[in-house]
Structure 1
Amino acid sequence: MKSVCVRMSVIAGCFVMIWILACNRQHPITSQEIEESQTIAIGNIQLVAIVKDVLEITQRGLLTEGLLKSNNSTKEYTTYPTECKPVITSNYTNITHNGDTLTYSGTITIDYGDGSACTDSLKTPTGKLIDTFFVTIIDSDINKRSPSVSYLATISFENFQKDNIILSGTITSQSVDQITTVTSEDARLTYTDGSSTFWNGALTYVYHPSEYKEDDCWIISGSLTGISRIGTAFMTSISKDIIYTGRCQNSGRPVSVNIEIISNGVTSVTDYGNGICDTLYTVTVREAAKKYKSDI
């Protein structure tokens, strides 16, 4: 009898161990979790891309209405990322010139109207961007260096829409030369189906201009938290810098990126490859990887 009891105890112990291991094992990834991860990943890429475009639009507006005029330059910056020429109005509230330092502040409004002047009314902006700024320019002849430009800008939106996505709220950008740090205040993307995503955090955008625009490059890093368009909280970390190039500018897609996103306890990694201007990307959820074709 004793040996029977011992055998029964061993068998029971084995079942308990199997049950414990089964409980500790990660549950299989469902198709719904992969689909939700894809939706959140696309939303994050759209967010980064539309902020990049806003920075490029407002910085070119500032060049057109301020920096170039202040230096009596004859160069014209009339080409925008969307191949549209918005109506730009400016109002300067303070201008001071002290030695080699020029400072000024004011507001620039960039108005795309209903987008009818654009080549593609679905892909190009409509509405207004309002850029309230403070700029400092230090003009130095040391080693024939270009002037150093820094500015602080608060950008708000009035019926602003791009790629059928409405951007609202406020973003703050602080730039020193080609490096811009962007933070958000109740910034939100709203989609045609009424869903929306909003976020907080800081992203750093580094612009590398070149002699030929198609060789221009944006490199983006940082992290975000927010609520996705499906209503789940997410934390995003850019583990490998996002890279956009002028050659792929109109596609709205990066050529290289690794973004790690955690939502509902599930971690996904979005990978856009290593420099090819294509529409393919991969979302990996734990060990389940799947390729998708981007529509942005």
Structure 2
Amino acid sequence: MKGYPIIRFLAIAIIISVSMVWGCQPIDFTDAVVAHIQSETVTDSYQSEPIDLSSIAVSNTTETLTGGRYSDPSRMIMGLGNIDDRFKCAVVTHTPDPATSSTKPMGTITIDFGTGCADNHGKTRKGMIIVQYAGKRFWPGSTVVITSKDFYKNDVRVDGKLTLTNVTASQADFPKFQIVLSGGKLTFTDGRTATREHSMTREWQRGATPDLDKWIEEGTSSGTNKNGKSYQMTITNRLVYARSCELNNKVFIPVSGTKRLLVDKKEVIIDYGDGTCDNIINVTINGKTKTEILSDKGN
């Protein structure tokens, strides 16, 4: 009987020791986890580029509102480079659809960056973005389909089909779109690829000038990152993108909001902050948080 207290003491000591060992284990903020976050974020940014460029082209083309006539010839859309420097050496052309009318404008806008077009921030684009629209711009029920032809941004090839449907409740509200990405794929210079499919709603809060615009985004995505790992992403608190931060501060991520990333058997919570223009995020795993700075170069 005298041996029992000793046994209990040893058992308690073992439990305490094991608990201390587990408690001292490092938080799972490995380079691999950061690379997963980096890859998913960069893929999102690159796949959003055609939407951003298309929205500027559509909103500054008269025919997307009035319809024009099929007999009207194709014409170049001038002056977009004064609105957004990404267009400064792009050739933008509008071609009416045979079925276009004043009640339902239809046509195609082609944004051609040629063999290389650098913006004021040193980012180079080449190839074409093709925008097919049906319905008056920003009217409920109108659609825009965006595809690319040999489109590259900074030597990264961007493929995929984006279908935007206007789901705004009324014309008095900010335009809101249901966005479906199918066949999304990035091809990097080293031959690696990243794939993405997503279904999002995006509200376009238009400012007095395009550089003051904001995008509010909700939804989910899935795919594989450039390291071959499958992931699922869910926006848990609306993401806010500010165009002024991208243009003036080279910020390519949301300025606020949160999302959950499931990758490599880990749940990662990503917090984009309080609206400050930066590429800083807070990453939470198993209740522990660490700050990271992301780069638009991928990983």
Q: TM-score, normalised by structure 2?
A: 0.76
Q: Cα deviation per residue 1:85-122 (whole Å; 9 max; x = unaligned)?
A: 4212233223454xxx611333222111123453345x
Report deviation, 1:28. 4.8
Partner of 2:93: 89
CA separation in 1, counterparts of 2:195 and 2:57? 26
Structural mapping, 1:148-167, within 5 Å: 148=139, 150-167=141-158
In structure 2, which of residues 245, 259, 262 is the aligned counterpart of residue 248 of structure 1? 245
3-state secondary structure, aligned to 1:54: helix
Amino acid at match of 2:260: E
Compare the two structures and name the one with the higher strand fraction: 1
Report deviation, 1:156. 1.6
Partner of 1:106: 107
Partner of 2:177: 180
> How has the CA–CA distance of structure 1 residues 115 and 132 changed in structure 2, closer, same or farther, with 3 Å as cutoff?
same
Report deviation, 1:202. 0.3
Check conservation: 2:182, 2:198, Cα contact below 8 A: no
Q: Cα deviation per residue 1:242-290 (whole Å; 9 max; x = unaligned)?
A: 1112320222232113121011221111222101112322222223322
CA separation in 1, counterparts of 2:183 and 2:289? 33
Check conservation: 2:161, 2:183, Cα contact below 8 A: yes
Amino acid at match of 1:263: V
CA separation in 1, counterparts of 2:264 and 2:24? 13
Report deviation, 1:163. 4.1
Structural mapping, 1:123-272, within 5 Å: 123-136=123-136, 148=139, 150-176=141-167, 178-250=175-247, 251=250, 252-272=252-272
How high is the sequence identity, in percent, across the aligned residues? 19
> How has the CA–CA distance of structure 1 residues 175 and 44 changed in structure 2, closer, same or farther, with 3 Å as cutoff?
farther
Report deviation, 1:222. 0.6
Structure 1, unmatched stretches of 5+, are 138-146
Structure 2, unmatched stretches of 5+, are 69-77, 169-174
Partner of 2:285: 285
Partner of 2:34: 38
3-state secondary structure, aligned to 2:105: strand
> How has the CA–CA distance of structure 1 residues 260 and 50 changed in structure 2, closer, same or farther, with 3 Å as cutoff?
same
Partner of 1:140: none
CA separation in 1, counterparts of 2:23 and 2:147? 44
Q: Cα deviation per residue 1:25-56 (whole Å; 9 max; x = unaligned)?
A: 8995676x632222222222223323333112
Q: Root-mean-square deviation (CA), in Å?
A: 3.5
> How has the CA–CA distance of structure 1 residues 128 and 83 changed in structure 2, closer, same or farther, with 3 Å as cutoff?
closer
> How has the CA–CA distance of structure 1 residues 184 and 212 changed in structure 2, closer, same or farther, with 3 Å as cutoff?
closer
> How has the CA–CA distance of structure 1 residues 117 and 38 changed in structure 2, closer, same or farther, with 3 Å as cutoff?
closer
CA separation in 1, counterparts of 2:135 and 2:199? 21
CA separation in 1, counterparts of 2:167 and 2:79? 22
Q: TM-score, normalised by structure 1?
A: 0.77
Report deviation, 1:61. 2.0
Aligned positions, number: 274
Q: Cα deviation per residue 1:187-215 (whole Å; 9 max; x = unaligned)?
A: 11222322221122201221101214443
Partner of 2:74: none
